Amino acid sequence: MALYFVASFCTIAVLLCIKRFYEMSALVFINECFLLGLTLLALEAALFVHQTGFFRPFFQGFQQLYRWIVPKPKMLIREEEKWANDVWLKDWKNRTTDRIKTVLLGTGTGCLFISLTYLFFYY
């Protein structure tokens, strides 16, 4: 949770510094911040859906179709099974994905917050 707030506040500070440094118009700044925030939140949502395994049957089906067209050597299949059963690697991937999701959520929220705040003061 602390990572989320740190990412949000750092994003707000960086965006305010960018606004001061580049001296862009308020409306352009509002629009770009809003678009950036939506993009980051869409990436976070895509990571969340991927992590839940919603598309796993589709990916497995395409992998089976690819294996039928281009067969793999048995040694490569054994290595992939060994990597798939590695508990430490799975744990590291889950922790890293969770941190990336938190940072994306924090930066996206920070961008939307600064955009809406500037929009409030603009009108």
**Number of domains making up the chain:** 1
pTM attached to this predicted model: 0.80
Please count the other Cβ atoms lying within 10 Å of the Cβ belonging to residue 117: 13
Would you say 33 and 114 are in contact if contact means Cβ atoms under 8 Å apart? yes
Provide the domain limits for residue 60. Answer: 1-122
Which two structure tokens, joined as six digits, stand for 69? 């067209």
Of residues 84 and 120, the one with the higher pLDDT is: 120
Summarize pLDDT for 1-38 with one digit per residue, the tens.
899 999 999 999 999 998 889 888 889 999 999 999 99
